[in-house]
Amino acid sequence: SIWDMLLWVLIPALIGERLYYVFIQSPRGPNGLGEYLAHPIEILEIWRGGMHIYGAFIFGGISIALYTRWRKLPLLIYLDAAGLALPLGQAIGRWANFINQELYGPPTTLPWGLRIDAAHRIPPYNDTTLYPDSVRFQPLFLYESLANFIGFALIFWISRRFEKRLRAGDLFLIYLIWYPLVRFCLEFFRTDSWFFSVLGLHFNVVHILSVITIIAAATILFIRHRTQPQIAALQGAGDTPVMADEETGGVKNEAVEVH
C-alpha cells in the first residue's frame, strides 16, 4: 500500500536531506562542514543547521525505485502521484521557515519585507549596528510557497485538461521542470548558501543540479511525446480513446491513460 511505501521512503529521504545539508549546503570552514567533520555526532543533531530537500529527492527517489521494483508496482504511476502531491506539501511546509525565521533573502524596502530577529540572522546581517531591527528581508519562503501553490494548480490542471494525451510519468517530469526552475531563480537571493564564480557569475550547487534536472526532464518529456502515436477516436466508438498510428493511420490496440 501507499502507507507501506511511505515508511520505506520517508526514512531514507530524511537521511538524504540531512547528509545533503551537511556535505553540500553547510557553510565552508570551521563553523560549518569542518565542525561536522570534527564532531560527527553533530550530524545527527538535525536542529543544528538544518536539512535540504534536494537530498530527499535523491535518496527518496532511489528508495521509491527500489521499493516498487521489489513489490512489482508501477513506478511511473507512483511518481505521478508524487509529482502532484509534492508541490502542495512543499507549499504548506515552507511556512515552517516563517515560524523558524529562516529562508530569507537580502535586505529589502518592499512592504512585505520580513523582520528577522538578530539571533536568527547569519553574518553579516547579525550585526545590528549595520542592520538594525528595523531592517526587513526578502521572504524567500513566501515566494517559494506561492510558486509551489501555482505549480500544484498547473500540474493538476494539466492532469485534467490533457488526461487522454498524458503518459504515465509525465506529471512527475513536469514537476521536475517546474520546481528546479523555481529553485534556480530563488537561489540567487539565498543568504545561507556558499557560491562559486564562473565567468564572473555566482552559482551554487543547487543551480547546477537544477539545470541538469530541468534539461533531463524536458528532454525525456519531449522525446516520449515526439514519438507518441496520436490519440484518435473512431467514428461511432463513443468516448473511448484509441491509438492511431501516425504513419499508416491504422488503429493500435492499447492506450495509456493517467487517472
Per-residue pLDDT of the chain (259 residues; tens, 9 = 90+): 677 888 888 999 999 999 988 888 776 555 567 778 888 888 888 877 778 888 998 999 999 999 999 999 999 999 999 999 999 999 999 998 898 888 899 999 999 999 999 988 888 899 999 999 999 999 999 999 999 999 999 999 999 999 999 999 999 999 999 999 999 999 999 877 767 777 777 788 889 999 999 999 999 999 998 865 544 333 334 444 444 444 444 434 433 333 3
Is 128 found in the same domain as 54? no
* Structural domain includes residue 31: yes
* Structural domain includes residue 137: yes
What sign for the dihedral angle of Cα 37, 209, 65, 49? positive
Is 185 found in the same domain as 116? yes
* Structural domain includes residue 253: yes
Is 254 found in the same domain as 192? no
* Structural domain includes residue 29: yes
- Return d(Cα 99, Cα 19) in angstroms, integer: 23
Print the domain residue range for 62. Answer: 1-73
- Return d(Cα 125, Cα 132) in angstroms, integer: 9
Is 167 found in the same domain as 68? no
- Per-residue model confidence (pLDDT) at position 31: 59
Own/partner pairs for 194-197, CB < 8 Å, 24+ apart? 194/27, 194/28
- Return d(Cα 187, Cα 209) in angstroms, integer: 12
Beta bridge partners of 123: none
Cell match 527517489: residue? 61
- Return d(Cα 83, Cα 221) in angstroms, integer: 14
- Per-residue model confidence (pLDDT) at position 232: 36
Is 116 found in the same domain as 5? no
Strands (E), 59-178: 107-108, 114-115, 136-137
Is 249 found in the same domain as 200? no
Residue type, 189: F
* Structural domain includes residue 114: yes
Number of domains composing the chain: 3
Is 246 found in the same domain as 209? no
Is 40 found in the same domain as 59? yes
* Structural domain includes residue 84: no
- Return d(Cα 35, Cα 210) in angstroms, integer: 28
Whether the model pTM is above 0.75 = yes
Is 173 found in the same domain as 239? no
Is 125 found in the same domain as 63? no
Is 56 found in the same domain as 112? no
| CB 80, CB 172: distance < 8 Å | yes
Is 159 found in the same domain as 124? yes
* Structural domain includes residue 93: no
Buried b (16+ CB within 10 A) or exposed e, 39-73: eeeebeeeeebbbbbbbbbbbbbebbeebbeeeee
* Structural domain includes residue 30: yes
